[in-house]
Amino acid sequence: MKVVLFCGGMGMRLREYSDTIPKPMVPIGYRPILWNVMKYYAHYGYKDFILCLGYKADMIKEYFINYNEYISNDFLLAKGGKELILYNNDIEDWKITFADTGLVSNIGQRLKAVEKYLVDEEVFMANYSDGLTDFPLPMLTDLFMKSGKTACLLSVRPNQSYHIVSSSDDGIVRGINGVQRSDIWVNGGYFILRKEFFKYLGDGEDLVQEPFCRLIETNELISYKHHGFWVSMETFKDKQMLDDMYQRGETPWEVWKKQ
């Protein structure tokens, strides 16, 4: 099952970094957030990727073309530095298709642009390249396969620090609670789609808005509610939070390190 990752946006809400590098290449520790998302899928056995590129695509290509395995793996250095023996590998068994999907395309257009690379796939996965989670992926795939539906997504609690205000018609506030404590669920990405999904996606349409509404009308969209860890790196504040967690060794998204 191939994994489509949307890597072409400009990341305008993360301008501190995206002016010089594409948002998927913003690092968390030693590796870009895109690598962390790919490593998550690879841990569960999904190692055939399609990267939908756009803004500063050359930097993503160069990163993988010149990938250094030793940065995130143990190795032996011998013969005065002339011999390097890796004890582990990250991407040796990965397949990565690099696809130019336009500089200003929306997510739906980017998916449409790589349809030609999915012709032999009855089912495929798709995701944004900035969301990290500890969700056990087999639970989502099992739900989807048993459902027989056309599309599935992961629902999560929002990680922003907004407050939900409840008020009456006369403006009297009846309650105010942090959004994370509310019963609000948002689209967390981690999509699973059948190839029939392309019948719901019109030219120029975004991924979620129009086609997902059509799926809802025909009861072809399901969701799994994840109560655990999920963070989307949208802003500099999100980036700082993930960096702080990494420095403390609190990295629940690194499922590949769990026994």
Q: What domains can be seen in the chain, in order of their start residue?
A: 3-154+185-257 (3.90.550.10)
Counted residue by residue, the chain has a size of: 259
Structure tokens that stand for 213 in this block: 């509404």
Phi-psi region of 102 (alpha: psi -120 to 50; beta: other; left: phi over 0): left
Q: For each of the chain's 259 residues, which pLDDT tens digit applies?
A: 999 999 987 766 666 666 788 889 999 988 999 999 999 999 999 999 999 999 889 999 999 998 887 777 777 888 777 777 877 777 888 999 999 999 888 999 999 999 999 999 999 999 998 999 999 999 999 999 999 999 999 998 876 655 667 677 777 776 676 656 666 778 898 999 999 999 999 888 898 889 999 999 999 999 999 999 999 988 888 899 999 999 999 999 999 988 6
Position 106, amino acid? N
Q: Which pLDDT does position 18 carry in this prediction?
A: 63
Beta bridge partners, 257, equal: none
Check residue 259 and give its pLDDT: 61
Tokens 């072809």 belong to which residue?
220
Q: What is the pLDDT at residue 22?
A: 87
- What was the pLDDT predicted at 187? 84
Write the DSSP symbol of residue 225. Answer: E
Write out the two tokens for 152.
Answer: 């599935």
52 and 111 Cβ atoms separated by less than 8 Å: yes
Q: Which two tokens stand for residue 130?
A: 């900035």
Instruction: Give the chain's end-to-end CA distance (angstroms, integer).
Output: 24
Is the distance from CB of 242 to CB of 29 less than 8 angstroms? no
Distance, CA of 225 to CA of 188 (rounded, Å): 10
Q: Which two tokens stand for residue 13?
A: 């809400």
Q: What is the pTM of this model?
A: 0.87
